[in-house]
Amino acid sequence: MNLSDYIKKYFQRVGWLLPSLNLLSLILIAVFLENSGLNTKEKIIFYLISIALLYLINYISFILFLTKKFLPSEEIRGKMMKRFRKGDDRMQTYLFPLSIDDAHYEIYGRTLTYNPIGGDFYNFLTDLKGNYWIGIGDSVGHGYLAGIFSMMIFQKMSLLVHLYSDPFEVIEQINESLSQRTEAYPAINANLYATFLLIKADKEGNFQHSGLHPSFVRYKSKTKENEIVETDGKFISTTMNSSLKNVQGKNQFQLESGDIVFCFTDGLYEQKNKGNLYFGESLFRFLEEVPKNDLKKIADSLFAEILIHTGGRIQDDMTILMIRKK
């Protein structure tokens, strides 16, 4: 990262706070000098000294930012762990799957929730034929209702992947089950829905995927390049798929040894800083620059970057799920 990138990141971090303080200081100095009994020469000297002090304060602030003393890594980690203790740590400990690291794939996921119970979820498992099924989703809203809706999808996925061979068909069956439940219990909120990406992979690296969800990134180890892959399919919903009846949502690609798939929810790039700027494209720059040898370190570094951007606070659940072909 060059100096201009650091400057841009610095002003994204401080937002309008520092410029506002500088302007206020200059106004106060001007008012003081106007009402003082100093002669013209003394006023000029005082004004120049004040400008120099303001410059020094701004310079020191920027240097502290560059040396990461503006928001120390220990403080970032502390706020991060506080978030985990509020709920996400317990959800991952008791509910979300353990990482997979076998002869064919390394699969790792991480979630950080806005509330103790969040709407983001992920799941991965193998079926009886040795295929890998990986799902990531985001239910609308926050809190327990979004969490319960997500867990319903989580539970249905875990069952249906053993009964059907195609990700599109599994999503169709989840929606059918949701329709039946809604008919049986009319009090269910019909506006609940989730974006959901379901991936099936065999041991050779042949992938199928379906579902409407934010695009994912495929890292090609041979060329060291990232490719954005669009998703296609249906939501998990009883009402939002009416215009998607003829959508098949059956897509394929292949991973070679060393390739990585990065899946995530929109909470990763929609986190805003104090200047109301999204993390946005910083996510894709991060995925281009970060070392690819350790998936857990990638997740740790990404969450730390986002917490630096936001000043230690988040406005939405965020999840990353990574699949590396051995």
What sign does the dihedral 305-309-311-315 (CA atoms) show? negative
- Torsion, Cα 228 231 232 234, to 10 degrees, reads -160
**pLDDT tens for residues 10-50?**
666 666 677 777 788 888 888 887 788 788 787 788 878 88
pLDDT of residue 88: 57
Domains and their CATH numbers in the chain: 3-71 (no CATH), 83-325 (3.60.40.10)
At residue 27, the pLDDT reads 83
Whole-prediction pTM: 0.75
Q: Are the CB atoms for 203 and 127 separated by under 8 Å? A: no
Q: Dig out the tokens for 307 from the structure.
A: 């917490």
CB atoms within 10 A of CB 62: 17
For 57-68, the DSSP string reads: HHHHHHHHHHTT
CB within 8 Å of 66: residues ≥ 6 apart: 6
- pLDDT at residue 168, as a whole number: 96
In this prediction, residue 286 carries a pLDDT of 95
pLDDT of residue 2: 55
Please return the burial class of 59, using the count of CB atoms within 10 Å of its CB with bins 0-12, 13-18 and 19+. exposed
Comparing CA positions, the residue from 52, 206, 216 lying closest to residue 137 is: 216
Which residues of the chain carry a pLDDT beneath 50? 69-71, 84-87
pLDDT of 140: 92
CB atoms within 10 A of CB 243: 7
Angle between helices 40-66 and 17-35 (to 10 degrees): 160
- The Cα 30–Cα 122 span in angstroms is 58
Centre a 10 Å sphere on the Cβ of residue 43 and count the other Cβ atoms it contains: 15
- 60-115: per-residue pLDDT in tens? 776 666 655 444 555 555 655 555 444 456 677 788 999 999 999 999 999 888 87
Give the pLDDT score at 314.
80
